[in-house]
Chains A and B, each alone.
Chain A
Amino acid sequence: MITVINSTIDYSASSAAYDLGTLYFAGTKAYRYVRAAAACTNDLLASTESVCGDSGGVYYVNNDFAGGTGLGVTTPMGVAIGTIAENYYGWIQVGGVATVITDGEVAAAEAIVLDASNDGDVDTMADGEEEQVFGWATAADVGTVGTIMLRGLI
């Protein structure tokens, strides 16, 4: 079955329009339908923020890596492509090239993990973090804006 969506991919809603976890492929990118956790950093998921799993339920995601109900940097789930308020439903990107928020020190071709020190950000993988990698940098970041090729999230 091919998923057909009836609104823009960055649209979010207070009730689920699809089954949680639904996959959608469009061109060179892939997306998964999720629910934002009940308590996110800044009360929402913002576009280009990276997200982890959440203990609220399967396919719940959070930009809060270190506190609250987020499952942390070992559980990367994808990248937000639009604003999703707490407890709202929407799509995150899980395949293809994504724009992300970095720590400002990412070089091209580096393996990328969630940044344990900054909610919603990504960081260069350090030794011992290999299992957390969910993308690689397609170019050096510009300021704190980076592009990564997502991997392992489908």
Chain B
Amino acid sequence: MYNIALGRALTTATTSAVHNLGMLYFNFQTGKVYRYIEADAACTNDTLAVKEVVTWVDNGYEVTNDVSEGLGVTAPAGAAIGTIAEASFGWIQVGGQGDVYTDGSVAAGEALVPHTVDGEADTMAAGEEMNVFAVSNEADHGTTEECGCIFRGLV
């Protein structure tokens, strides 16, 4: 398996696509996996911000942090690792250990799903099993609640 040559930091966003949308990038040394996407034309706060949970808008590898836009909580895509402005292009994380914003009530070892609050993750409730995209490896914390997690099933 071979990686593409990035040519720029994974957190760098651009206004035009520099890779094929949907492309995967493996950082074998950290065990983290990323996917190249386009931010939706109408995101919450006009941008995707680092640690925000994003969901699919359509089948064109377009994602959003606006959970009521597009395909919603049943279609988790990953988490933002840097700022990507609306309609711009960049990488999101889809595998390995990462950090996501949460609702403030996540315990270690819980299955996580997209929250109905934009950009956040929530603890899975019964009937939401198909929405799970990560498992928390710590309780959430911080002024803006967040937690470390292991992404699952997004690659």
Q: A-side interface residues toward B, CB under 8 Å? A: 1-3, 18-25, 32-33, 53, 55, 58-59, 71-72, 74-75, 77, 128-132, 151-154
The reply to whether A24 and B109 contact each other, CB–CB distance below 8 Å, is no
A72 to B95, CA, bound (A): 20
- In the bound complex, do residue A130 and residue B152 qualify as a contact, i.e. CB atoms below 8 Å apart? no
Sorted from nearest, which 3 A-B pairs have the closest CB atoms? A21-B31, A71-B109, A130-B129
Interface size grouping (class) on chain B: 20 to 34
Q: Determine if B9 is an interface residue (Cβ-Cβ < 8 Å).
A: no
Given A58-B137, A75-B137, A21 and B129 contact (CB-CB distance below 8 Å) = no
- A55 near B129: Cβ-Cβ < 8 Å: no
Show the binding face of B for A, using Cβ within 8 Å: 1-3, 26-33, 95-97, 108-111, 124, 126, 129-130, 132, 135, 137-138, 148, 150, 152-153, 155
If the complex has contacts A58-B148, A75-B135, are A53 and B109 also in contact, measured as CB distance less than 8 A?
yes
Instruction: Give the Cβ gap from A19 to chain B, nearest Cβ, in Å.
Output: 5
B residues in contact with A75, CB < 8 Å: 109, 135, 137, 150
Nearest Cβ distance between residue A111 and chain B, in whole angstroms? 11
Q: CA of A77 to CA of B31 in the docked complex: distance in angstroms?
A: 13
Chain A residues with Cβ under 8 A from B32's Cβ? 21
Q: A53 — which chain B residues lie within 8 A by C-beta?
A: 109, 135, 137, 150
